[in-house]
Structure 1
């Protein structure tokens, strides 16, 4: 039984990895159980047993992408010294996450946000939840830098977090569209100027 559970967990992990890669380029609506089964040489029934529906597959893919984002961007930043060093590490990790194409379409959540921004439903709500979680982390790190006296006391943390996120998202969009790395350099320059 333990072997079957381990194989099942591995099948789920491999399926979600491929689903996130596809969704970062073609959108979550581009996911189908049949396509994943064909690409991964697995049975449709085996994949269906893990997810049950396209919507559940989409939600699981979002959760997987969030885990990857936390592992690549947020968790390593938390190892930095609190305050401005931690905030800078967070920004640098985000730029690296997009620039190195952890997912082929760049930032998974930028793509999912654009796809589901005007829709309703559980997938939209999950995308909104991920965005709000990210912004809470960003605002919290800005506030931490203010509390330590590393940013001016009158800094509007929510505004600064919004501007940092906007520059980062713009760099992702421009780089994915043009294939040019210059957008990341510009975003880094703009964000670091705001934090200087």
Structure 2
């Protein structure tokens, strides 16, 4: 005879439901943040959108600050899944680096009408100290580390020269992302995706080892 502990089963069910509700809240928070910025994300707006009470939303996060940090963490998780995870299929080196950059700028293109939290969040919090800014800075620093790792791997395979100025290359690539955002969001131009790929290919080409 198998004895089922109903209390344990109910607890697990409640945990799963709680996780699902929390993820649903973050889904909406990301939508609002993409449209209105992180400052547009409030407990009240999320409660209205989800048909929940404010206390129901609040119970999943200790404060609005924790809500914003959780929103950033979820954005980072999805960003890395879209950009880095598919690139692992490529061989270490230039092919993987180009795939990472292609995925990054493809995602930027998809976010054209809404916005990238790495960029829009940076504008909102560049001079606002606090935990939300610290989380955003950490996210961007981790992304830069991933770019650095991919560049170094291409150097180790001999496809890029040993004297590649990694900080400069990352600065140039980030400048491309910012320029694309400005061109698409502010100026309403739709040729950014084509231009940006030509430019990052040109950046990498100047550091490729001549064989």
Work out whether residues 24 and 112 of structure 1, in 8 Å CA contact, stay in contact via their aligned partners in 2. no
Structure with the larger helix share: 1
Number of the residue aligned with 1:189: 198
Q: 1:152 to 1:126 in 2, by over 3 A?
A: same
Number of the residue aligned with 1:5: 15
Equivalent in 153, 158, 161 of residue 170 of structure 2: 161
Give SS of 2:59's match.
helix
Q: Return the alpha-carbon distance in structure 2 between the equivalents of residues 117 and 59 of structure 1.
A: 15
Q: What TM-score, normalized by structure 2, do the two folds share?
A: 0.88
- The aligned runs of 1:24-63 (5 Å cut-off) are 24-63=34-73
Number of the residue aligned with 1:176: 185
Number of the residue aligned with 2:86: 76
Unaligned runs of 5+ in 1: none
Q: How many angstroms does 1:152 deviate by? A: 1.8
Query: CA-atom RMSD, angstroms?
Result: 1.4
Residues 1:106 and 2:115 are matched in the alignment = yes
Q: 1:48 to 1:104 in 2, by over 3 A?
A: farther
Number of the residue aligned with 2:103: 93
Give SS of 2:92's match.
coil
Q: What TM-score, normalized by structure 1, do the two folds share?
A: 0.94
Q: Return the alpha-carbon distance in structure 2 between the equivalents of residues 133 and 171 of structure 1.
A: 21
Which of the two has higher C-alpha Rg?
A: 2
Q: How many angstroms does 1:91 deviate by? A: 0.6
* Number of residues of Structure 1 aligned to a counterpart in Structure 2: 195
Q: How many angstroms does 1:104 deviate by? A: 5.0
Q: Return the alpha-carbon distance in structure 2 between the equivalents of residues 185 and 154 of structure 1.
A: 29
Q: How many angstroms does 1:178 deviate by? A: 3.3
Work out whether residues 83 and 145 of structure 1, in 8 Å CA contact, stay in contact via their aligned partners in 2. yes
Q: Return the alpha-carbon distance in structure 2 between the equivalents of residues 23 and 178 of structure 1.
A: 21
Q: How many angstroms does 1:173 deviate by? A: 2.9
